[in-house]
Each structure stands twice: as C-alpha cells, then as structure tokens.
C-alpha cells in the first residue's frame, strides 16, 4: 500500500500549498523546486505559498463513464478551476446540481474524501470545489 506517496502530498492536497518564484513572482501548483520560466535563477528562491482555494470554473465535464471507485457518485463533475492567484488546478465539483455548473462560476476549495485503498486501507482526503455563496 503506497502510504508514503500519498502522505508526502498532504500539505498540498489538504491545504493547497504551492510555490511562488522568488524571481518572477509566478505561482505554481503543486510545489516546484524551480520555476520553468526562470530556471537557474529560481533555484533556492521558490517560496511556499498557501493558495486561498477560491476561483472560477475554467472548464468542466460531467463524467458518466466513471472509474469503479466512483460508482457511488457517478455521474459526477470535474473541473479545471482558475484560482484567484492566477493559476489553474483540477478537482471535482461538489454540492451542486450537475445541470447548474457553468464556466465562470465562483467556487471554493473544501476537503472531501478522494478515495481509499479498499475497505481496510488508508482514506485519501483532498480538495474538491463547492459553489461559493456570493
């Protein structure tokens, strides 16, 4: 069971920790050791930054042909969300009627179960996106 591999990403999966380049200011998710734009000049200058988790739906899809581990939830929606910090992330959309999802709608990150390694295995938690009440 790949316990360590999932444990390592907890700060990112639970709390959306990304990286800001100390050279050009661009923000990345997940964390990176160097900025693709600045390369060498960014080594050692990448700063940890916690993203707020708020943004707009950039694109989305309602998935019908879902993996077995999503059989209780299908059909479900997945989206690319453009966060306020300017970058995009990918996550499921929850707490919304599937026919109400629209490009541009405001969403915020919430913690939900992503899956589990079987009924006796570790449960993986991470961010999904719920509509933000204006």
Partner 1 sequence: MDVGIVSYGAHVPRYRITPKEIGRVWGADGVAMGKGLYINMKSVPSPDEDVVTISVEAARGMMSRVDVSGADIGALYVGSESHPYAVKPTGTIVAEAIGVTPDLTVADLEFACKAGTAGIQICMGLVKSGMVKYGVAIGADTSQGAPGDALEYSASAGGAAYLIGSENVIATINKTVSYTTDTPDFWRREGQPYPSHGGRFTGEPAYFKHVGNCAMKLMQEMGTTAEDYDHVVLHQPNGKFPVRMAKSLKFNDQQVERGLLTPFIGNTYSGAVPLGLASVLDQAQPGERILVVAYGSGAGSDGFDITVTEAIKDYRRQSAPTVAELLKNTKELDYATYAKFRGKILMKG
Partner 2 sequence: MREVAIIGIGHTQFGELWDSSFREIGIRAGLEAIGDANLAGSEIDAMYVGNMSSGRFIDQHHIGALIADYSGMAFEHIPSTRIEAAGASGGIAFRQGVMAVASGMHDIVVVGGAEKMTDVSDDASNFILNSAADQQWESLMGATMSSLHAMIARRYMHEGLATREQIASVSVKNHYHGSLNPRAQFRKAINLDAVLRSPKVAEPLTVFDCAPMSDGAAAVVLCPLDMAKSYTETPVKVLSCAQSSDTLALYQRDDICCFKATQAAARRAFEQAGLGPKDIQVAEVHDNYTISELLALEDLGFFPRGEAGQAVLDGRAHIGGDIAVNTSGGLKARGDPIGATGVAQIVELVTQLRGKADKRQVADARHALAHNVGGTGSAVVVSILGVA
Q: Choose the stretch contacting partner 1; rule: CB under 8 A; options: 19-27, 34-42, 80-88, 120-128.
A: 120-128
Applying the rule CB under 8 A, the residues between 85 and 124 that interact with partner 2 are 88-92, 103, 114-115, 124
Between CA 109 and CA 29 the distance in angstroms is 14
3 binds partner 1 (CB under 8 A): no
Q: Which residue has the tokens 């299908």?
A: 74
> Which entry of partner 2, partner 1, none binds 95, CB below 5 to 8 A by partner kind?
partner 1
130 binds partner 2 (CB under 8 A): no
Applying the rule CB under 8 A, the residues between 7 and 36 that interact with partner 1 are 10, 14-15
128 binds partner 2 (CB under 8 A): yes
Name the phi and psi angles at 115, rounded to 5.
Answer: 165, -175
The gap from C-alpha 49 to its chain's centroid, in whole angstroms, comes to: 14
Between CA 91 and CA 102 the distance in angstroms is 15
94 binds partner 1 (CB under 8 A): yes
Name the phi and psi angles at 3, rounded to 5.
Answer: -60, -50
For residue 76, what are the CA distances in angstroms to 55, 83, 101, 102, 127?
A: 20, 21, 11, 14, 15
**Residues at the interface with partner 2 (CB under 8 A):** 9, 29-30, 58-68, 70, 75-76, 78-80, 88-92, 103, 114-115, 124, 126-128
């Amino acid at each position: 069971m790949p316990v360590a591999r999932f444990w390592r990403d907890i700060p990112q999966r639970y709390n959306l920790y990304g990286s800001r380049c100390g050279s050009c200011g661009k923000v990345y998710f997940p964390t990176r050791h160097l900025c693709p734009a600045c390369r060498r000049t960014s080594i050692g200058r990448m700063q940890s930054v916690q993203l707020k988790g708020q943004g707009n739906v950039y694109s989305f899809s309602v998935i019908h042909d879902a993996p077995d581990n999503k059989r209780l939830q299908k059909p479900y929606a997945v989206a690319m969300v453009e966060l306020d910090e300017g970058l995009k992330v990918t996550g499921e959309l929850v707490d919304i009627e599937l026919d109400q999802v629209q490009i541009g709608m405001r969403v915020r990150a919430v913690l939900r179960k992503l899956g589990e390694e079987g009924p006796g295995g570790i449960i993986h938690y991470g961010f999904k996106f719920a509509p933000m009440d204006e």
